[in-house]
A = this chain, B = another copy of it.
C-alpha cells in the first residue's frame, strides 16, 4: 500500500472508530472527529515524532486537540499507534475508563485537558515557547483546532504571541468543517477569512482540502520548513464519509448509527509505527545561588515586592523556575526576576488567558512557571485556571494589588473575588502572606507544590512581624497574639492581619484579651488550630464576604465539637477611590471595626 493509500485507509479507520466508540457510548462527537480524520491520519502516519513508551520524553513532538470534543479521534489515534487495546478503546465515556468524554491527562499521551474551546492553541504556544526558549529542542507542536473556536479571543492572543515569539515550531491545523454546535459558524467555508486574519497576525498560512491526503502531507511539509508559526486551514466536511450526516446541521455531539461503518468500508486494524524522535539533550539553566531575601522585623516592605525578590532568589536556586507576567511586572515586581533571569522571563503583555495557558504549556515539560498580574485580572483567565486543574497542571499564580487597600485606583483594580476564585479550583493551594519574610518562605514553598497554587499580595508596605527564619508550612497558621486566657479570637490574613493586631492591642487596653490567628494558608486551612478555638471568633478579610477567608474558617468549623459564633467581616459594599486607610474603614475591616465586632461578641457571650 502506497503512502497515500495508507493515509486514506487510516483516515477511514479513524472514522469507523469514532463511530464505533460513540455508538457504544451512546454519546460523543463522531461527526467532529470524521471531519478531522484525514488531517490526523497524515499527521500520525507521516509527520509525528513520538515515543509512546516514553510520553514524558522532552524530545517528543506534542499533539494538542484544541477541539477536545473530537476525543474519539484522539483515542482512535492511540489505538492506531498500538498503545490502546480494542477492549479499552470500546470503554469510551464509561465510568472508570481512561477514555473520558473530552481528553484528560488520565491518559499518559494526553498532556493537557481540552474541551473548553479556545484553550489548546494558547497552551500550544506555551509548549512551543518552552521548546524554543527553555528546553531548546527541535520538537514540533501540532494543534488541531476547530473553526468554531476561532471566535474565542484567546485564539487571537495565541496568534499574536506565536508570531511575536517567532514560534516556527508551532503548527495549527484548523478543521474548517463549517458547522458549529448549533449551526453554521460566522465564516462557513470561507477559508480566506481565517487565513487573512492569521496572516495579518504574522502567521504563514496554507489553505487546503482537508480530505486530500497529498495536500495535507504537502502542507505539513511546508509547515515544517517555514520560519513562522503556520496555520493549515483545511476545508473539511463534518461527518465526512457517512452520506446521511455529511455536512448536515443537527448532528453535533450525537452518536450515529453503526450502519455508517459499512459505508466507511468496515472495521480496520491498521497500526502505525510512529517514529521516535532522536534522543536530545534539553537545555538546563544552572543554579546561581544567591542570598535569600530577608527583612528586619519592624521594617516595612510590601508583600508584592517580597514576592519579586523571593522569586528572583528562587530562580537563582533552581533552574526550573520561570516567570510570566501580564505587562505589569513593575507592579507585581516580577521584574526583579526578569532582571535576574532574563532568559526565563516571558512578557505576555495584557493577555492573561495566554499567560495562564503558556504557564500550563511550560509545565508540560516540567518547568515551574510563576505567572503574575493584578489579583483582579486573574479573573480574566479563570476558565484557564479551572481547566489547568482538569489538566492536573502544576502552575503558580501570583495576584498583586488585592483588596480595597490598594486605594485610589478604585474597584476595577481591586481583587475582591480572587480567594473565592482560587479556593473553588480543584487541587488548589491559596496563600495570603502579611509580611515580607512570610511571603518569601511561601514563594519557596510554592515551587514544590503540586496543582494550582495562588499567592495573594498587597500593594502597600506592611510591617515585618516575623523573623526571617520563621517557618510557614502550607496548611499551617501562626498565632502572633496568644494570650493565656482569651475572650475572643481574631482570624485574619494579609493586610487585615495588621489591623487585627492593632485591634487586639486596643481590646487589651480595655481588658479584653484577644487571640490573633494568622491564616496565611487559606487553603488548606489550619483546621486543627481553628477547631481548638473555644471563644467567639471575628474573621476579617479584604475580600467580598463570599468564598474567602471567613467562609473557609466556617467550613473548617462546620462539624466541629465547638462551633463558636463567628462574626465575618468582609467587603460588602462596592468600594470607591480613596486612601487605603479610608477604604479599609469604609469596608468595615480596619482595626476599629474588628475591635468593635470583637467587643460585641464578647458582650453577647458574657454571663448576664
Partner-B contacts on A (CB < 8 A): 25-28, 68, 93-97, 99-102, 104, 106, 113-118, 148-149, 151-157, 160, 164, 180-182, 185-186, 196-197, 199-201, 327-331, 335, 349-354, 376-377, 379-380, 382-383, 386-387, 389-390, 392, 407-413, 416-417, 420-421, 423-427, 523, 544-548, 550-552, 554-555, 558-560, 563, 565-568, 573-574, 576-579, 582-583, 586, 601
Bound Cα distance from A190 to B93, whole angstroms: 50
State whether A68 touches B327 (Cβ < 8 A).
no
CB-based nearest B residue for A392: B574
State whether A550 touches B555 (Cβ < 8 A).
yes
Chain B positions within 8 Å of A118 at CB level: 350, 380
Bound Cα distance from A247 to B129, whole angstroms: 31
State whether B101 touches A410 (Cβ < 8 A).
yes
Contact of A559 among B25, B352, B565 (CB under 8 A): B565
CB distance from A593 to the nearest CB of B (A): 15
State whether B93 touches A577 (Cβ < 8 A).
yes
Bound Cα distance from A500 to B150, whole angstroms: 42
State whether B559 touches A567 (Cβ < 8 A).
yes
Chain B positions within 8 Å of A574 at CB level: 389-390, 392, 426-427
Bound Cα distance from A410 to B387, whole angstroms: 12
State whether B376 touches A116 (Cβ < 8 A).
yes
Chain B positions within 8 Å of A327 at CB level: 148, 151, 180-182
Chain B positions within 8 Å of A546 at CB level: 420, 423-424, 523, 547, 551-552, 555
CB-based nearest B residue for A97: B577
Bound Cα distance from A541 to B420, whole angstroms: 17
The 4 lowest CB-CB distance pairs between A and B, nearest first, are: A153-B153, A115-B412, A95-B578, A547-B547
CB-based nearest B residue for A195: B200
Bound Cα distance from A186 to B390, whole angstroms: 32
Chain B positions within 8 Å of A182 at CB level: 327-331, 335
State whether B153 touches A408 (Cβ < 8 A).
no
Bound Cα distance from A149 to B199, whole angstroms: 20
State whether B181 touches A578 (Cβ < 8 A).
no
Chain B positions within 8 Å of A412 at CB level: 68, 101-102, 104, 113-116, 387, 390
CB distance from A185 to the nearest CB of B (A): 7
State whether A350 touches B156 (Cβ < 8 A).
no
Bound Cα distance from A328 to B410, whole angstroms: 35
Contact of A197 among B197, B335, B408 (CB under 8 A): B197
CB distance from A132 to the nearest CB of B (A): 17
State whether B563 touches A565 (Cβ < 8 A).
yes
State whether A351 touches B153 (Cβ < 8 A).
yes
A335-B182, A424-B546, A547-B423 known; A349+B151 contact, CB < 8 A: yes
State whether B180 touches A349 (Cβ < 8 A).
yes
A101-B410, A157-B153, A411-B113 known; A567+B578 contact, CB < 8 A: no
State whether A100 touches B577 (Cβ < 8 A).
yes
Bound Cα distance from A197 to B201, whole angstroms: 6
State whether B417 touches A100 (Cβ < 8 A).
no
Contact of A96 among B354, B407, B576 (CB under 8 A): B576
Chain B positions within 8 Å of A93 at CB level: 408, 410, 577-578
CB distance from A191 to the nearest CB of B (A): 13
Interface centre among A113, A552, A576 (most CB of B within 10 A): A576
CB-based nearest B residue for A428: B546
Chain B positions within 8 Å of A155 at CB level: 153
Bound Cα distance from A186 to B346, whole angstroms: 13
Chain B positions within 8 Å of A565 at CB level: 558-560, 563
Chain B positions within 8 Å of A578 at CB level: 93-96
Chain B positions within 8 Å of A351 at CB level: 151-153
State whether A350 touches B380 (Cβ < 8 A).
no
Other than the known A26-B408, A563-B563, what 4 A-B pairs have Cβ atoms closer than 8 Å? A95-B578, A376-B386, A424-B547, A546-B547
Q: What are 5 inter-chain pairs, A to B, with CB distance below 8 A?
A: A27-B408, A186-B349, A546-B547, A554-B555, A558-B566
Chain B positions within 8 Å of A413 at CB level: 101-102, 115-116
CB distance from A125 to the nearest CB of B (A): 12
CB-based nearest B residue for A149: B350
Chain B positions within 8 Å of A330 at CB level: 181-182
State whether B102 touches A409 (Cβ < 8 A).
yes
State whether B181 touches A164 (Cβ < 8 A).
no
Chain B positions within 8 Å of A411 at CB level: 100, 104, 113, 390
State whether B576 touches A106 (Cβ < 8 A).
yes
Bound Cα distance from A330 to B555, whole angstroms: 38
Interface centre among A114, A115, A164, A558 (most CB of B within 10 A): A558
Bound Cα distance from A201 to B93, whole angstroms: 38
Contact of A577 among B101, B199, B568 (CB under 8 A): B101
A410-B102, A554-B558 known; A377+B95 contact, CB < 8 A: no
Contact of A100 among B153, B352, B410 (CB under 8 A): B410
Chain B positions within 8 Å of A116 at CB level: 376-377, 380, 412-413
State whether B408 touches A417 (Cβ < 8 A).
no
Bound Cα distance from A100 to B407, whole angstroms: 10
